[in-house]
Amino acid sequence: MCLAIPALVTGLLPDGMARISLDGVVKTISVALVEDVRPGDYVIVHVGHALARIDPDEAERTLALLAEAGALGAAVAAAEARP
């Protein structure tokens, strides 16, 4: 039940609710816990509530770090494969 997923906010509704799209599936969730949610934001959804907004810049940075560590690993693997 702890599995939470990133979802795109597609529209705001009254009473702190919002419409989200999960890979095309539309759901209504509460966004009352996250300040200033706007359509176009990605939020982490857990049991019908948004818990946090995903920061697109930090997401890019994580991917860059992953690519860097991966490139290092790939280089090591290639070096080990060489006779």
Partner 1 sequence: MKYVDEYRDGALARSLSAAIAAEARPDRTYAFMEFCGGHTHAISRYGIEDLLPANVRMIHGPGCPVCVLPIGRIDDAIRLAMRPEVTLCTYGDLMRVPASRNGSLLKAKAAGADIRMVYSSLDAVRIAEANPDRQVVFFAIGFETTTPPTAIALKAAEAKGLANFTIFCNHVLTPVAMRAILETPAAAGEPPIAVEGFVGPAHVSTIIGTEPYRIFAQHYGKPVVIAGFEPLDVMQAILMLIRQVNEGRSEVENQYIRAVTTPGNLAAQRLTEDIFELRDAFEWRGLGIMPKSALKLRDAYASFDAEVRFAVETQPAADNPACECGAILRGWKKPADCRLFGTTCTPETPMGACMVSSEGACAAHWTYGRFRAHEKTSTAPVRRAS
When the beta carbons of 11 and 63 are compared against partner 1, the nearer one is 63
Per the CB < 8 A criterion, the answer to whether 4 and 51 are in contact is yes
Q: In sequence order, what are the beta bridge partners of 44? A: 6, 52
Q: Which amino acid does the sequence have at 55?
A: D
Per the CB < 8 A criterion, the answer to whether 43 and 34 are in contact is yes
Residue ranges that bind partner 1, judged by CB under 8 A: 1-6, 8, 16, 22-23, 29-30, 32-35, 42, 44, 46-49, 51-56, 58-59, 61-63, 65-67, 69-74, 76-77
CB of residue 83 to partner 1, shortest distance in Å: 18
When the beta carbons of 11 and 56 are compared against partner 1, the nearer one is 56
